[in-house]
Amino acid sequence: HLFHASYWESTDVVSFLLRQVMRHDNSSILELDGKEVSVFTPSKPREKWQRKRTHVKLRNVTANHRINDAVANEDGPQVLTGRFMYGPLDMVTLTGEKVDVHIMTQPPSGEWLYLDTLVTNSSGRVSYTIPESHRLGVGVYPIKMVVRGDHTFADSYITVLPKGTEFVVFSIDGSFAASVSIMGSDPKVRAGAVDVVRHWQDLG
């Protein structure tokens, strides 16, 4: 279902595929510029759930966590947000449980640095502002948030740009895609969407 019409029209389909492969948990077998990609190991051991009912809620459901990919200015706040859910269509919310935040400071071969432990709110969300002591320089950094209770996790990236950088953020659902797919069918591409992307690409 990844290959709907807009991907076929894009010259970036190869980079899209490589990005998906690099995000795969077995990325340690890949090499980039002769450097082996660092393997992630959770820094904190599994613990009992904070809430007794969590164990019952999560029985027979699989993790469906996600973290927003973030773009930050090098001298502005660097904020990470995530949501921790289980089951199809987010049936179960992870509430009041610990989530560990890790970042790779020198990708792709750098060590994973443990930053902090957060607790999910009533909607399963967490938000974390990277402190001044660990402020990131210009670059793209992998992020992992790991649920302490079962070691399920979510991946994302934070991109830090130089001050004054101009960039364009594209929204997909409802803007470039004329429909939203819940059942996995290919969404319809809004007329002119690919032309808009190519316009900004041509402008650099």
Instruction: Note the pLDDT of residue 181.
Output: 65
- 33 contacts: CB under 8 Å, gap ≥ 6: none
- Which of 87-91, 100-104, 121-125, 140-144 shows the lowest per-residue confidence on average (mean pLDDT)? 87-91
Which helix (H) or strand (E) element contains residue 115?
Answer: strand 112-119
pLDDT of residue 35: 55
**Could you tell me the pLDDT band of residue 53, with boundaries at 50, 70 and 90?**
very high
What are 143's strand-pairing partners? 103, 156
Interior angle at CA 24, CA 21 and CA 26, nearest 5: 110
Q: Could you read off the pLDDT of 140-195 as tens digits, one per residue?
A: 999 999 999 999 999 999 999 998 888 788 877 777 887 766 666 777 888 888 89
- Give the model's pLDDT for residue 185: 73
Amino acid 92: pLDDT: 94
Q: How confident is the model at residue 8 (pLDDT cuts 50, 70, 90)?
A: very low
Q: Give the model's pLDDT for residue 19.
A: 52
CA distances from 204 to 36, 156, 170, 201 (A): 31, 24, 15, 5
Residue 27, pLDDT > 50, answer no
Fold of 32-161: Immunoglobulin-like (2.60.40)
Q: Is the pLDDT at 7 greater than 90, yes or no? A: no
Residues 89-97 have a mean pLDDT of: 93
What is the reported pTM?
Answer: 0.72
Domain regions of the chain by residue span = 32-161
What confidence tens digit (pLDDT) does each residue in 55-72 have?
Answer: 999 988 999 999 999 999
Q: How many residues does the chain have?
A: 204
Least confident of 7-21, 77-91, 115-129, 147-161: 7-21
